[in-house]
Every structure is written in C-alpha cells, then in structure tokens.
Structure 1
Amino acid sequence: MLTNRDPRTAIGVRYDGKVLLITVDGRQPGYSLGLSSRELAGYLVSLGVKDAAMLDGGASTQMVIENETVNRLPARERMLGGGIVVIVSKDLAN
C-alpha cells in the first residue's frame, strides 16, 4: 500500500539535470520504519527533484554499489526480476 511506511526505491531528476537514485530502508524498528509514498515525494522535493518515479520497494529494496549492498535489507537477500544498472565510463568520470 502507498500509505504504509515501507522500504522504498525511487529515481528522480533534479532541476540541474542530475539524476538521483534513492533507497530508503524500512520495516526495521529501532533502525528505520521506512516512508510512505507521500513522505518519499516530500523528501524528493526537498532534494530539488522535479521529475521522479517510485520503483519497486518493500523486500525488493536493495542498492548495490561496486558489488556491495549499501542499505540494510529487512530480510534475507532475494532474487530480483529486474533493476537499474548505472555504468560510468572512465572517460566521463572526471
């Protein structure tokens, strides 16, 4: 449900053209309760995002950077059917 506070994943484009990938942990009392869809939208707006899409969330919420999971999963890692992969060309990294 969109009104529940759950783990969330979103992608957004700021007014300056930068693309943000956001992962919010949740369902972990004492660590993170997650966000509702309205709370996530407010957070994205506070970051200067003008266009955004909420992606799959809940137990599918996982962010991996350089082969390392950087968020705290609410349960064991699970197989996912899809994802967004960002590859930065070394020529463009500088």
Structure 2
Amino acid sequence: MRKPELASAIAEQTELTREKASEVITAFTDQISAAAARGEDVSLIGFGTFGVRSREARSGRNPQTGAAIQIPASRSVGFKAGKSLKDAIR
C-alpha cells in the first residue's frame, strides 16, 4: 500500500477528504522523523515502536575485490512491532 492508497482508506474510515488525510499522514511521518533526529523513540501502544539504532564501526570486505575495508559507525531507524500488530498478522 502506498501513501495515496493509505490516504484514501483513512479518508473513508474517518470521513475526511483524501487531501486532508494525506496532510495528516505527512504530519505523522514528519513528527516521527523529527523525533528520530532528536534520538527519541516513538511508541504507539499496541502498534509498535520506532527507535534509533546505532551500529558500531566494523571491518568488512569489498565483495568485488575481496579487499578489507573499514565500515564507519552509523545510525538508522528501526521498528519493533507491538503485540496487537503481531497478533493481526498471525
């Protein structure tokens, strides 16, 4: 499901216009992005938690040449599903 399809489904369920539902989705994702940039977790009880994950620097290999390379430390966003979401997909 892509954003326009999600906006349409939300619009039907909430009696909002598709445009307003799309604005709500954009505001929601903007707030999650802003919280992640601050290093904060976003927990939606029953649905799941978006959190920042850190990876340490490590060594690896270039798959084309086999040469050893140093992979720098990085941060990314992860998602851990909540109980209700897990139960919904079983």
Q: Same-fold call, TM > 0.5?
A: no
The structure that has the greater radius of gyration is: 2
For CA contacts below 8 A with separation 6 or more, give which structure has more relative contact order.
Answer: 1
Which structure has the highest helix share of the two?
A: 2
Which structure has the highest strand share of the two?
A: 2
TM-score normalised to structure 1 length: 0.24
TM-score normalised to structure 2 length: 0.25
